Structure 1
Amino acid sequence: MQMASLFLIPVTLGDTPIDKVLPQYNKEIISTLNYFIVENVRTARRFLKKSNPDIDIDSLTFFVLNQHTHFEEISNFLLPLSQGNSVGIISEAGCPAIADPGADVVAIAQRKGYKVIPLVGPSSILLSLMASGFNGQSFAFHGYLPIEAVERSKTLKILEHRIYNEHQTQIFIETPYRNQKMLEDLIRTCRPQIRLCVAANITCEDEYIRTLTLKEWKDQHPDLHRKPCIFLLYK
């Protein structure tokens, strides 16, 4: 009998068909679990039903982990593990614990000595890096950059410095409705010869991945409004 484990369960990026990006093994694991740690119960239930149409959703227990969850509550989410029951973590999109609050759960599980098992699935960070043509040996993911104009400009200059001095690919994201503003800020702030890769709706039908210099981006007008995007910079 397998030891009770914390399974990190990837989710599709957008409305991508599950069979396109998630292995059958994930579905088999999901069918054995009764406890799930999720960001949103409604979307988690929908994902689980897609993964296994025969699953008895109403028999499952969900623990909600989001920006409103108090840190002291998180340990209680792992109580089923102490009783011999495995638990799954489901993100809203992509891989749990990567730019995701699930990392706090994993940290507690590691401290308590529970077995943590990451399942295979799509990571927008890695997929965009693969498709960019940039340095995959050395890269850094920064999450969201500052919103305030002066701080953002300062941060972009720091990232530019790392590109040239450390030969490191710089990766970051933006709130979907501010994508166009991010593109404009990059063109205005960074050297025109720096290359930018914009990756939007990865693995979806309208996937868009393009690498150009910032000078070339000035003449491009991609529709990025409200689309999940990743931005990558390199020389």
Structure 2
Amino acid sequence: MKKQKSYQDELGKLYLVPTPIGNLEDMTVRGVKILKEADLIASEDTRNTQKLLNHFKIEVAQKSLHEHNYKQRIPEILKLLKKGQTIAQVSDAGMPSISDPGQELVAACIQEGIAVISLPGPTAGLTALIASGLNVQPNYFYGFLPRRKKDQKAELKQLATIKATMIFYESPYRLKNTISNMNEVFNPQRNAVICRELTKIHEEYLRGTLAELKEYLTENTLKGECCLLVEGQLEQEVDRSLPQVPLKEQVEQFIATGLSPNDAIKEVAKQNKLKKQKVYNAYHELNK
């Protein structure tokens, strides 16, 4: 374990400032204050961020920081931070580093002992989740899936057994194909929600099973930013390609490791999400 040393007072600070995902009124008072006080703003797209700065009358210089130039930019920004400057980093919308640039700069600052301060604010995934109607806890944020069908289906197969509600970001132009692939890999009866244009005038939630959403998208074309939430693995979903080990045998395997029969029964019941009595009956062959 590496313990971070106290940040050096003579060094600057990196602020991670969330920006609105649609509605400018979601910008926090503290976020505006930090942007106004910063010596420099590191932006994913300076043209896009300039609109935000103009709206809040913020006159601070910008420097671009995105996936194509971060290797060149990070040393430049570190140099300024080491001189004591305060830098605010923003993405086009929402939280920096969440499917956007930023994590490489954060890692570099931590390595150099430079303070990294994160501000709370808008993020599309959780905003959509709490209004989706799906289980909020646990949840699994994935972000953007691979674009190629083969790669995407391979990734979905890895996610198929996750019990948590899954959060994806997707382009409206690829959403139809993504939903189709999910119908092939996941149980089509899983509930799912498409959240479109969050916080904007045309905000919309489309709720249904994966099968119903697939059918809807065959006849309708969606526009705008989309967030896709999918229910986790259902209790009735069983991979029938895998041999199911009898409960009695599972208990015996735990007993062989040194557990008492009672503790082994408890563990098997827990792993299979069954009542202890059911496992007890199976082990003692009371069902026969």
- TM tier, smaller: 0.7 to 0.9
Partner of 1:199: 195
Residues 73-113 of structure 1: CA deviation (Å, up to 9, x unaligned): 31221322222221000101111111111111111111222
* Greater C-alpha Rg: 2
Bigger strand share:
1
Alpha-carbon separation, structure 1, partners of 2:147 and 2:54: 37
Q: State the Cα distance separating 1:3 from its structure 2 match.
A: 7.7
Deviations 1:199-234 (A, max 9, x none): 111111111123322233245348553421111111
Query: RMSD across aligned C-alpha pairs, in angstroms?
Result: 2.4
Matches within 5 A, 1:4-23: 4-14=12-22, 16=23, 18-19=24-25, 21-23=26-28
SS in 2 for 1:173: strand
Which residue of structure 1 lines up, in the alignment, with residue 228 of structure 2? 231
Q: Is the 8 A contact 2:42 2:65 kept in 1?
A: yes
Q: How big is each residue's C-alpha offset from its partner over 1:166-189, in whole Å with a ceiling of 9 and x where there is no partner?
A: x22222222332122222333344
Give the gaps of 5 or more residues in structure 1.
none
3-state secondary structure, aligned to 1:26: helix
**1:170 maps to which residue?**
166
Give the number of the structure with larger relative contact order, counting CA–CA contacts within 8 Å between residues 6 or more apart: 1
Checking the alignment, whether the CA contact within 8 Å between 2:94 and 2:121 is kept in structure 1 is: yes
Give the secondary-structure state (helix, strand or coil) at the position aligned to 1:134.
coil
The residue aligned with 1:111 is: 111
| Corresponding residue SS for 1:92 | coil
Deviates most, 204-213 or 68-77: 68-77
Correspondence for 2:43 among 29, 38, 42: 38
Matched, 1:87 2:87: yes
Change in Cα spacing, 1:224 to 1:35, as seen in structure 2 (3 Å) is farther
Indicate conservation of the 8 Å contact 1:90/1:96, yes or no.
yes
Q: Which runs of 5+ in 2 are unaligned?
A: 1-8, 235-288
Q: Distance in 1 between the 2:33 and 2:189 partners? A: 48
CA apart distance, 1:151: 2.8
| Length-normalised TM-score, structure 2 | 0.70
1:152-163 correspondence to structure 2 within 5 Å: 152-162=152-162
Aligned with 2:183: secondary structure?
A: helix
Equivalent pair of 2:196/2:226 in contact (CA under 8 Å):
yes
Which of 46, 49, 53 is residue 48 of structure 1 equivalent to? Answer: 53
- Report % sequence identity: 28
Q: TM-score, normalised by structure 1?
A: 0.84
Q: Is the 8 A contact 1:22 1:120 kept in 2?
A: no
State the Cα deviation string for residues 12-62 of structure 1 (Å, max 9, x = none): 113x1x22x1222221222111201111111111111112x2x33xxx332
- Alpha carbons 2:141, 2:167 under 8 Å: kept: yes
Q: What is the identity, as a one-letter code, of the residue corresponding to 1:43?
A: N
In the alignment, residue 197 of structure 1 is paired with which amino acid? V
Residue 28 in 1 paired to residue 33 in 2? yes
